[in-house]
């Protein structure tokens, strides 16, 4: 599985470099952001749901996090 993670990391870094070096075919023009601006399209559109879920799964499972920082700070695991 370390190989899998290493592969994912390399793919992510390669993807990041590709995106950051100006892959102009991906993305939208500034006036095409109407759908992305909808509240439910926000990456954290339901912050309370995410906070409850992080806390619940942190206390019941071994893996946690991923979305961002948070989910820790509990003696439940």
Smallest separation (angstroms) from other proteins to the CB of 20: 5
Backbone angles phi, psi at 47, to 5 degrees: -65, -35
Contacts to other proteins by CB under 8 A: 1-2, 4-5, 8-9, 12, 15-16, 19-20, 22-24, 26-45, 47-49, 51-52, 55-57, 60-63, 65-70, 72-77
Smallest separation (angstroms) from other proteins to the CB of 64: 8
Cα(first)–Cα(last) distance of the chain, in Å?
23
The Cβ of residue 52 has, within 10 Å, a number of other Cβ atoms equal to 11
């Amino acid at each position: 599985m370390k190989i899998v993670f290493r592969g994912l990391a390399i793919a992510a870094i390669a993807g990041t470099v590709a995106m950051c070096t100006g892959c102009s075919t991906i993305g939208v023009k500034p006036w095409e952001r109407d759908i992305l601006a909808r509240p439910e399209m926000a990456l954290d559109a339901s912050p309370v749901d995410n906070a409850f879920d992080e806390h619940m799964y942190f206390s019941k499972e071994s893996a946690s996090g991923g979305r961002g920082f948070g989910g820790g700070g509990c003696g439940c695991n």
